[in-house]
Structure 1
Amino acid sequence: MKAKLAAVFLFLILSAKVAIGQNQNPPFYPFGRYPAERTYKGKPVTPKLITPTQSRFRTVLRNGEGKGPNFAGHYTVVEWGCGSNCVSFAVVDAVNGKVFDTDMPPVNDEYPCGLLYKLESRLFVVAKSSSVNGDCKAHLYIWDGSRFKPVNDSTPVHQTMIFTAADGTFQFSHPSDFQVCTQGKIEPCIQSYIPVCEQDALVCVIYAAKQFEDTSFGGVSFQVREIVRKGETMTADVCVTPYPRKDPGGISDWPEFLVSAEHPQEMISGILFLHGVNGGVAMSHSISVDLYRSFHKQRCFELSVSLTQTNPNVSEPPMKTLTRAQQKELDQSMSQMLHSFRFSK
């Protein structure tokens, strides 16, 4: 009996407590920098219970695993209560049922603010505070397939805001220092030579890029549009079909976008989107667009990330281009904003 109690006590000590009632929006963590290798879509394998502690919590482990992966592509983080402001957790592999419940990140040494993780990322965040109402400090870990490894990540952590559509249909998070323009008030966000925001956008968010002012970088945005076909009923097929459009000279037709050959679909908050690409060039300036379409409750929604640049060789001396670190920061910020999108109703 004492051995069983000791095992349970050790399990709880190595598990994480989460403080309830934190009112702050979660900061922007670099989930996009540590993508999962693959996403498991099959039926989760029943957890294989090896130790007495795992057997003791067999019901919660099986119920949690049955909901499917929620972390690092094919793993499920299973959480359950263990007292006031306390939660225990284990990681279960949906592919083979293996349970990981030791060598967890330390969280009980301070006041925990919460655990953050995503299906698409191997990043695991433990936020803690030195006092009950103090500021939360993030501790980042990477899951390597069998254990958590601490990460020394210098990526700036931005405080986030939650944008909710006027009709409550969707919401997403974005760093608080990014500029936001909404339908009918898009003009302030049309800044670059080739605009990265469409006039008909429901919302467009511009990356705060002061640190890139002396480079060939033009601008980058995340926007949400509703696709409407005049005189035509919107259907799922119409939504994801790249209809032809006339070029400015009216000479030939070409599709609105091309379906990505490498990655034709994208899972965003549990919803499958068609992934398309588009682009163009004008007067030494270029734009590249990754767009994502989905038919939701009889409406066609398009999410897109648009990037504009200038040919660095048009000036003398040539302009600097983004460093690898700057490009990573840019990519992970836009990816996190994209994957925070979710339909609210």
Structure 2
Amino acid sequence: MRSLSALIATLAGLVPAVATAQTDLVDRVRACAAISSAVQRLDCFDNAARGVASASRPATDRLPGFGDLPATAGPPARNAPIVLTRQDMTFRTRLREAATRPPNFAGHYVLTTWGCGSGCLMGAVVNALDGRVTFLPATICCLPFDVEGVEPISFRADSRLLILNGVRDEAEGDLGAHYYRIEGARFVHLRDAPLPQGR
């Protein structure tokens, strides 16, 4: 009887992970379908399937690393023209300039930042495949001076992982390392952790 209860508890614990994995798969398939190159599209579908399989495994206490969230598509031969909405117009000059640069985040996004006050950064990513803009999930500020070797915003060209180090949106008590992954046109919050020790 006890073993049956343990099995039921284990299965119940897997249900949220499976539901999240299904949502992620739908988002990834949509992003892959928008890629014009057949080879890149197939690579994207393959990476999406592998990524969802690993995401459905039970979580561990290990922090996500850049290698855990590989880019699902590579850069296009040419960036798509930027698509600006009314919300984007305040920052149109910076966004238009970013759209001309080669992707530097998650395979096919151009991540750009700008100041929003003393020690504060905000920014956005421009999808080089379709020209759409997605703003970073929060402004970031207040990274302590004694944390050396840690940037307020950490990202890589070959990974979907974004780490905001500091205080998000100047919210009291929010100091830490905040982990996100990009999925199509949105950032998904993964977890928060204490700031890494400087090198």
TM-score (norm 2): 0.53
| Percent of aligned pairs with the same amino acid | 34
From the superposition, tell whether residues 96 and 85 of structure 1 become closer, same or farther in structure 2 (CA, over 3 Å).
same
From the superposition, tell whether residues 95 and 80 of structure 1 become closer, same or farther in structure 2 (CA, over 3 Å).
same
Matches within 5 A, 1:155-166: 159=197, 161=199
From the superposition, tell whether residues 152 and 79 of structure 1 become closer, same or farther in structure 2 (CA, over 3 Å).
closer
Kindly provide the amino acid, as one letter, of the partner of residue 83 in structure 2: K
Deviation >6 Å, runs of 4+: none
Given that residues 36 and 122 in structure 1 are in contact (C-alpha distance below 8 angstroms), is that contact kept between their aligned partners in structure 2? yes
Shift of residue 56 of structure 1? 2.8
Given that residues 76 and 93 in structure 1 are in contact (C-alpha distance below 8 angstroms), is that contact kept between their aligned partners in structure 2? yes
| CA offsets 1:163-199 (integer angstroms, 9 cap, x no match) | xxxxxxxxxxxxxxxxxxxxxxxxxxxxxxxxxxxxx
Given that residues 74 and 93 in structure 1 are in contact (C-alpha distance below 8 angstroms), is that contact kept between their aligned partners in structure 2? yes
In structure 2, the partner of 1:45 is 80
In structure 2, the partner of 1:77 is 111
Structure 2: gaps (5+ residues): 1-62, 144-150, 169-174
- C-alpha distance in 1, partners of 2:94/2:157? 20
Confirm or deny that 1:94 pairs with 2:133.
no
Structure with higher helix content: 2
In structure 2, the partner of 1:118 is 156
SS of the residue 1:68 aligns to? coil
Given that residues 29 and 157 in structure 1 are in contact (C-alpha distance below 8 angstroms), is that contact kept between their aligned partners in structure 2? no
From the superposition, tell whether residues 107 and 82 of structure 1 become closer, same or farther in structure 2 (CA, over 3 Å).
closer
Given that residues 71 and 122 in structure 1 are in contact (C-alpha distance below 8 angstroms), is that contact kept between their aligned partners in structure 2? yes
Given that residues 107 and 128 in structure 1 are in contact (C-alpha distance below 8 angstroms), is that contact kept between their aligned partners in structure 2? no
Kindly provide the amino acid, as one letter, of the partner of residue 184 in structure 2: G
Residue from 171, 178, 182 that aligns with 1:143:
182
RMSD value, Cα: 3.1
Shift of residue 152 of structure 1? 3.6
- C-alpha distance in 2, partners of 1:159/1:80? 25
Given that residues 70 and 76 in structure 1 are in contact (C-alpha distance below 8 angstroms), is that contact kept between their aligned partners in structure 2? yes
Matches within 5 A, 1:236-251: none
Residue from 88, 93, 102 that aligns with 1:54:
88
Max Rg structure: 1
Given that residues 65 and 78 in structure 1 are in contact (C-alpha distance below 8 angstroms), is that contact kept between their aligned partners in structure 2? no
Given that residues 126 and 140 in structure 1 are in contact (C-alpha distance below 8 angstroms), is that contact kept between their aligned partners in structure 2? yes
Matches within 5 A, 1:122-133: 122-128=160-166
Number of aligned residue pairs: give it. 125
Structure with higher strand content: 1
- C-alpha distance in 2, partners of 1:117/1:81? 18
| CA offsets 1:256-295 (integer angstroms, 9 cap, x no match) | xxxxxxxxxxxxxxxxxxxxxxxxxxxxxxxxxxxxxxxx
Residue from 92, 98, 107 that aligns with 1:64:
98
SS of the residue 2:152 aligns to? strand
Given that residues 120 and 142 in structure 2 are in contact (C-alpha distance below 8 angstroms), is that contact kept between their aligned partners in structure 1? no
TM-score (norm 1): 0.32
Matches within 5 A, 1:1-345: 30-51=65-86, 53-101=87-135, 104-107=136-139, 111-112=142-143, 114-128=152-166, 137-152=176-191, 159=197, 161=199
SS of the residue 2:177 aligns to? strand
Structure 1: gaps (5+ residues): 1-27, 131-135, 162-345
